Amino acid sequence: MTFLDRMADLAESWWEATATATPPTAPAPGHRELMRQVAAAVALRVVRPEVGGADPSRLVVAEEVAARLAALQGADGLFSSDGNLHSPPDSAFAINDLGATIAVIDAADDPALAPLRRRLLEIGERALPALLAGGVHTPNHRWEIASALVRLRALDERAVQRAEQWLAEGVDVDADGLYSERSANYAAFVSNPSLLVLAEALVRPDLVEVVHRNLHAQLVLTDADGVVETVFSRRQDQDGAIPLSAFHTQLRRFALAGCETCAAGAEVSEPRTPELAVGALLEIVQEPTLGAELPPLERWPETDVVRHFPGVGLLVHQHGGVRTVVYGGSDVPHVNRIGSGLAGNPTFLRFRAGDAVIRSLRLSRVMFGLGPFRSEGLVVDDGVARLHERAAARYYQPLPVASHQPDGGYRLTDDGRFQASMAFGERAHDEVELVTDVAVRPGPDGVEVEVTAAGVDTGWSLEIALGEGTVTGAAEVAPEVYRPLSGVVELRKGRDAVVIETSVGSGADMAGWYDPGEAYTFLGGTDALAGPRLYLTGTTPGTWTLTLRRA
């Protein structure tokens, strides 16, 4: 069975589960899903004409879905979704699929598709003026809108000019090939595909090279389970998991062009889910050469990797089946807040030995509700990754007499932790500080973590989030919460195991905890991890060590 057939089979199942399972009288899904349903119907008809010819019901449903899509379009030609009202960028996601679908219909030369084409063209014509004038609110939106514009360039010559105006800002990619949002999700589904469309339409080979570099970075960031590292992301996926298969057709493109690195990635990333297969099928019908069989690999890339990504504060160290990821690139210490669009994940290390996985290390402190340790940066020196944070809180002195207000009404100001009518900036203050330095020494069989804390006397708790497996050397003190019985704990899954050794005592007098900080708790929220967790506890100041190694 060919790659095209495999993707078509999965796309068929997606179509049956979405378009045909939702009657036209039901509440409409979002505009992006509706347009994807129409696009899938057209793609399936093109690659399997015998099905479409014998049973035209798919085309009938597609026309009904297109009518529902048109009904969602506002008077200004825009769509709204997820609170983004009359949104040019959100609309551009659907218009990109729409433009691609019209191109597929034109290439197919199938008279039965003519009514659907007219409907889609009407939707595009209504949206285009708003896309020509509309703005954005995230970096990737620029490329999504620009891509949608060039797909509709035949309707208005200004479309290319506007796309080039967005591109003139320069693509937000660093020397390692990572975009400013640091998001695998948006790289896979927005920036990379949009830049490839723009590269072809505007004859910009430099944009192709941006995508190629990004793919090589994503491959280094992918673990043995085929999951791309997202701990450093500034978007929603910083706490999630993005499969390498989301990049498959992009990898396939460069593999077929002769890149052995991308060929190795494509070999292990073919989509297995219907949702991803629909996207792959849409690309293949637009560009049939993407469906060609992958060239045989003459050699697999080197599995030993040491890669420092300074732009995002990340180090990947891999030797055989042992992989260490060290992270120190949080935005929170620099902007002093948690927020959408900021890298805020407090995980500073991940480790795996084969199938035995340490999902996360997070360090909490009793420190004025400031939240867990988040390094101010990552320095790699002679193979040692160094993390550093200074956390401080203030106690304020009385105002100088010249600043007194007879009515006691002082300016509402931000202390960095909270706000109060205290004119903080006009007061002398005393600081309570906690300075934390972490030295991480990855090796071929494990990693040593040395933590030194200086400053205030307080308690700390290290959370070690465990992957699946059997835990020995620890007591389960609550559901999925473990405390070490001695200085050695083992997590075993199958033939693989991670041994956890520490210089910290069992600390039975102090229960372990994770504190997300007041930025979450005052709103009743949390970024805490679920699943099995092992806790070590102790007090500052002092130095202690933790070793994770393959058994």
Q: How many domains does the chain have?
A: 2
Say what the pLDDT of residue 22 is: 56
369, 475: one domain: yes
Phi, psi torsion values for 362, nearest 5 degrees? -135, 140
pLDDT of 265 higher than 70: yes
Q: Does residue 401 belong to any structural domain of this protein?
A: no
| 282-309 mean pLDDT | 91
What pLDDT is attached to residue 299? 79
In a domain, 407, yes or no: no
pLDDT band (50, 70, 90) for residue 57: confident
Same domain, 66 and 153: yes
Amino acid residing at 180 = S
Q: How far is CA 503 from CA 365, 385, 546, in A?
A: 18, 20, 7
Q: Report pLDDT for 81.
A: 86
Residues 338 and 197 in one domain: no
Confidence (pLDDT) at 201: 97
- Same domain? For 243 and 356 the reply is no
Each residue of 71-109: pLDDT tens digit?
Answer: 999 999 999 987 889 999 999 999 999 999 999 999 998
Domain boundary among 242, 266, 291: 291
Residues 269 and 342 in one domain: no
H/E element, 5: helix 3-18
| H-helix or E-strand spanning residue 7 | helix 3-18
| Residue 119 and residue 70 in contact, taking contact as beta carbons nearer than 8 Å | yes
Q: Residue 419 falls within a domain, yes or no?
A: no
**Could you tell me what percent of the chain has a pLDDT over 90?**
89
pTM of this structure: 0.94
Location of structure tokens 């101010």: 376
The answer to which of 24-38, 162-176, 290-304 has the lowest mean pLDDT is 24-38
* pLDDT single digits (tens) 413-431: 999 888 999 999 999 999 9
Identify the domain containing residue 478 by its residue range.
305-385+432-550
Per-residue pLDDT at 52 exceeds 70: no
H-helix or E-strand spanning residue 147: helix 139-151
Checking if the pLDDT of 487 tops 90, the result is: no
Residue 527 pLDDT: 93
> Looking at the domain assignment, is residue 391 inside a domain?
no
The answer to whether residue 234 sits within a structural domain is yes
The answer to whether residue 417 sits within a structural domain is no
DSSP string covering 413-436 = EE-SS-EEES-GGGS-EEEEEEEE
Q: How confident is the model at residue 55 (pLDDT cuts 50, 70, 90)?
A: low
User: Residue 506's pLDDT is what?
Assistant: 56
Q: What is the mean pLDDT of residues 335-347?
A: 94
User: Residue 54: is its pLDDT beyond 90?
Assistant: no
CB atoms within 10 A of CB 474: 23
Are 127 and 236 in the same domain?
yes
- Cα–chain-centroid distance for residue 388? 25
Look at residue 51 and tell me whether its pLDDT is greater than 70: no
Is residue 284 within 8 A of residue 7, CB to CB? The reply is yes
Question: What average pLDDT does range 322-344 have in this prediction?
Answer: 95
Say if residue 282 is in the same domain as residue 336: no
Same-domain status, 266 and 339: no
pLDDT grade, residue 49 (50/70/90)?
confident
Return the CATH number at 135.
1.50.10.10
User: What's the start-to-end Cα distance of the chain, in Å?
Assistant: 42
Query: What's the whole-number mean pLDDT along residues 529-533?
Result: 97
At residue 90, the pLDDT reads 95
| Range list of β-strands (E), 368-484 | 378-381, 384-396, 412-414, 419-421, 429-442, 446-466, 470-472, 474-478, 481-484
Residue 300 half-sphere exposure toward CB, CA atoms < 13 A = 7
pLDDT at 28: 62
Last residue of a domain, one of 232, 264, 291: 291
pLDDT of the residue at 48: 86
pLDDT of residue 463: 98
Is the Cα dihedral 223, 227, 232, 238 positive or negative?
Answer: negative
Is 336 within the bounds of a domain?
yes
Q: What is the pLDDT of residue 29?
A: 84
- Mean pLDDT rounded to a whole number for the chain: 94
**Same-domain status, 351 and 271:** no
pLDDT of 133:
97
Instruction: Say whether pLDDT at 348 is over 70.
Output: yes
**pLDDT score at 16:** 87
Q: Last residue of some domain: 233, 261, 291?
A: 291
Instruction: List the CATH number of the domain containing 437.
Output: 2.70.98.70
Instruction: Enumerate residues 6+ apart whose C-beta is below 8 A from 155.
Output: 124, 125, 128
CA angle 129/132/138 to nearest 5° reads: 125
**Shared-domain flag, residues 278 and 326:** no
The rounded percent of the chain whose pLDDT value lies above 70 is: 96
Is 427 a domain residue?
A: no
Q: Are residues 285 and 343 in the same domain?
A: no
3-state secondary structure of 104: helix
Residues 110 and 210 in one domain: yes
Query: Looking at the predicted structure, is the pLDDT value of residue 13 above 90?
Result: yes
Chain centre to alpha carbon of residue 129: 31
